[in-house]
Amino acid sequence: MIRVGSTLPEVDFSLLVDGEITNPGTNELFAEKRVVMFAVPGAFTPTCSHSHLPGYVALADKFKAKGIDSIICLSVNDAFVMDAWGKASNAEEIIMLADGNAFFTRQIGMDMNTSNFGGVRSLRYSIYVEDGEVKKLNVEDPGRFDVSDAQTMLDSL
């Protein structure tokens, strides 16, 4: 499992930009940047939609004021679902990034099998990354939402 001090693996993601699928890689998203990323088990799911994403939307300006270059929401969903979820959640300041095949999620050891929910999904976590290196990592225990929320991450910066 990834930990503080780890370098993120190079993976291509999916991102819908102006109606077109793009495939930014880890280096493009994280190199020479200060990035906060949080991962959720699934778009449009209750805790993710009512608490996790809205917290980062509400505090986006405060993250930017602390020098964060971008805020990324990651889920093992496709880019179309992530884009629709972002629009439905007024998440204009958040990069709604898709890890559709869970390549990244598996490589960093944050995958879980939720066969009764949707197959391979991501654990709920948040990370702060500087130039591709993990500086802070908050991983939730299964079924919990206590440490990966926006306020906890903001307070730790």
What are the chain's domains? 15-156 (3.40.30.10)
The pLDDT assigned to 117 comes to: 66
| Catalytic entry in 48, 94, 97, 110 | 48
Q: How far is Cα 120 from Cα 153, in angstroms, rounded to an integer?
A: 25
Classify residue 154 as exposed, middle or buried by CB count within 10 Å of its CB (0-12, 13-18, 19+): middle
The pLDDT assigned to 46 comes to: 85
Confidence class for position 20, pLDDT limits 50, 70, 90 = very high
Amino acid present at 23: N
Q: Is the pLDDT of residue 114 over 90?
A: no
Q: Is the pLDDT of residue 156 over 70?
A: yes
42: DSSP letter: -
The pLDDT assigned to 45 comes to: 86
Average pLDDT, rounded, for the chain:
95
Q: How far is Cα 101 from Cα 150, in angstroms, rounded to an integer?
A: 26
48 catalytic? Reply is: yes
The pLDDT assigned to 119 comes to: 76
- What is the residue whose two structure tokens read 């307070």? 155
For 73, half-sphere exposure in the C-beta direction (CA atoms, 13 angstrom radius) is 34
